[in-house]
Amino acid sequence: MIHKFLLNLALATVFVALTGSVSFFDFVVGFIIGLGIVSLLSNAAGDGGYVGRLWGLMKFFVYFMYILVKANLEVAWEIITPGFGMEPRILRYSVAGLTDVEVTTLANAITLTPGTLSADLSDDGDTLFIHAMYARDRDQALAAVDQLRHWLLREVFNHDC
């Protein structure tokens, strides 16, 4: 997938160079033309799905930005208001059946979100320990991680969930 994306960027850059005008619009047009070329090449080689995977990555990016902004606002509200509204806890989350890359990506997505931190992975690699600042309801906190996992597996890793 990354090779296809880099080829798409290279084709967009070549298009901009050939047109002779460097503008964002020309780059977008070149990227769309490159998208078509890479998609046709992928389908001809028998490993298609480039456009679908790219679309899935964009959908996950939008979803992740939503939860990132929401978590930032929650932490900011905690900072500017008096009192202590946090209820931190360590959550045990099963990652059995995921590959090392999927576990690492999920753990990094959790850690990037303010208020949560992937603290540790069990020795057998089946349980991820997550520190959550706002985990009043354990089941609700685990459901949020489940939703992140679902989006990640469906849109990034192309699993049928």
pLDDT at 48 over 70: no
Structural tokens at position 29: 């047009």
pLDDT at 69: 93
Q: State the pLDDT at residue 130.
A: 95
| pLDDT tens digits along 71-129 | 899 888 888 988 887 889 999 999 999 999 999 999 999 999 888 999 999 999 999 99
Report the helix count and the strand count for the chain, using DSSP H and E.
5, 3
User: How confident is the prediction for the chain on average, in pLDDT?
Assistant: 88
If we measure between CA atoms, which residue out of 145, 143, 53 comes closest to residue 103?
A: 145
Share of the chain above pLDDT 70, in %: 98
Closest CA to 55 of 111, 1, 3, 106: 1
